[in-house]
Amino acid sequence: MLSGQQTVPPTTATFDFLLNWYVVSAIIAGGFVIGLLLFFAVKYRARPGAPPATKGPENLWVVVAVVAIMGLALGAAGYQTFASTSNIVVPNDPNAITIKVTGFQWGWNFTYPNGNFAVGNLTVPAGQVIILNITSKDVYHTFGIAMLAVKEDAIPGKVNQAWFQMPTQGSYIDAIRCYQLCGVGHSFMEANLTVVSDSAWTGFMGSG
């Protein structure tokens, strides 16, 4: 859905970056372990007339190398995970726009800073930090925008925060949907995301 976009939203970029780290780390650790397994399986294979297997000398370097390489790979992935949390937690931006999101059976209600609300369509200005205060009117729902790597539970009596920043304008049909089975209408519990210019947003809010 983001094809043709000039820039990648920051939350999406962070999760893409982490996924690459995890895949590379897993390939290094997994490749080393499986490589050793195959090497030893061939080297010590059963051969006709060979003496029965006996315990050989300890190969300490193998143990140290396996632990060190796996530790480095996992440590690097863990470091990158914690280093990325600053991009995932809700930013402290004084210009952020806060919108209340209320899930219900079956739809999404968006309440804007001016008190107006809309059902089934979330309108936001491009390039601005959008903070969502997510709750539910009835049962558990999960608010999600897959293309922006946003997902947060909507729980009655509780407010969970999520944020995103969409660099470019556009209209994204059914970009928002529920990710928690919540009843017979769950599969239709969708909403559109409309990203507009600053001036259109000012008009949308009325008087600015």
Residues that bind Cu ion (CB under 5 A): 141, 178, 182, 186, 189
The candidate with the shortest Cα–Cα distance to 142, out of 107, 99, 179, is 179
User: CB count, 10 Å around CB of 35?
Assistant: 10
Nearer to Cu ion, 108 or 201 (CB): 108
Nearer to Cu ion, 18 or 152 (CB): 152
Query: Can you say how many angstroms the Cα of residue 79 is from the centroid of all Cα atoms in its chain?
Result: 17
Q: Which residues contact 43 (CB under 8 A, 6 or more apart)?
A: none
Nearer to Cu ion, 140 or 204 (CB): 140
Nearer to Cu ion, 25 or 142 (CB): 142
Nearer to Cu ion, 132 or 189 (CB): 189
* Closest separation in Å from C-beta 134 to Cu ion: 13
> Residue for token digits 């650790």?
29
* Closest separation in Å from C-beta 59 to Cu ion: 55
Q: At what angle do helices 60-88 and 10-43 cross, to 10 degrees?
A: 170
DSSP 186: G
Beta bridge partners of 108: 103
* Closest separation in Å from C-beta 186 to Cu ion: 4
* Closest separation in Å from C-beta 15 to Cu ion: 22
Nearer to Cu ion, 110 or 141 (CB): 141
* Closest separation in Å from C-beta 195 to Cu ion: 24
How many helical (H) and strand (E) elements, i.e. helices and strands, does the chain have?
A: 3, 10
Alpha-carbon gap, residue 87 to 44, rounded angstroms: 49
The candidate with the shortest Cα–Cα distance to 76, out of 10, 17, 16, is 17
* Closest separation in Å from C-beta 106 to Cu ion: 6
